[in-house]
Structure 1
């Protein structure tokens, strides 16, 4: 199964009764395993979970801490990029040149990288010398 197919499949499991905007995400760990996540809304909107965060959590729960590829899919007019918080989460576990495929359920795709999604990212190097 391709990474995008995994994201497409898990999108169907999204819990989005309020926005009805289902998102699926999949990340590939360095082992080659695919980890999937979908958005999970909550009536208290800020308390929901993004699909990308769910996929990363599944990867970390399985014992991996580095991703090598990302795919995100949603039913939208154009490919949907991760939110700002998820861009930072992806940057925590991936490199700047990690490929990211953004897609719509109608087949449109946009290929980018974590570095292009989050230029000037905050990383552990910024904390060197912190007291």
Structure 2
């Protein structure tokens, strides 16, 4: 993978994970998104009693970045709990594809030491695109 400062990105994702609001699933997720400018934007999952109104950590990070004027991304680190690293859900993969090409680097890891690395193209090989 490229010259991304993965330890710093992982640290930011872990900090965001600690802010997750997950009273229903008890599955806290944190994400740290590295913009093309070098800025890091974080997000956490925010659940809701209606479930459909919940938002994943990855999308929270992307939407926050876009609100700050950032629309190009290089990498994302996703922190989950448990023995296996959780990958972004399908909706999050498609949202990430909207703002990056398939080369976006994705690091998924847990506080128990599991880690997996992908490119977005590996996670979403046939992203939907209108243009």
Using the size of structure 1 for normalisation, the TM-score is 0.92
Instruction: List runs of 5+ in structure 1 lacking aligned partners.
Output: 126-131
Are positions 1:26 and 2:24 aligned together? no
CA distance in 2, matches of 1:19, 1:4: 23
**Among residues 84, 89, 92, which one is paired with 1:83 in the alignment?**
89
The Cα of 1:124 is off from its aligned counterpart by: 2.6
The runs of at least 4 consecutive aligned structure 1 residues that moved more than 6 Å come to none
Partner deviation per Cα, 1:49-101 (whole Å, 9 max, x = no partner) = 10000000111011111111011011022110111100000111111011100
Partner deviation per Cα, 1:16-47 (whole Å, 9 max, x = no partner) = 01111000011111110000000000011111
Using the size of structure 2 for normalisation, the TM-score is 0.92
Q: Which residue in the other structure is 1:128 paired with?
A: none
Please give the root-mean-square deviation of Cα atoms over the aligned residues, in Å. Answer: 1.0
Give the alignment of 1:1-131 within 5 angstroms: 2-125=8-131
Instruction: List runs of 5+ in structure 2 lacking aligned partners.
Output: 1-6
How many residues were matched structurally?
125
When Rg is computed on C-alpha atoms for both structures, the one with the higher figure is 1
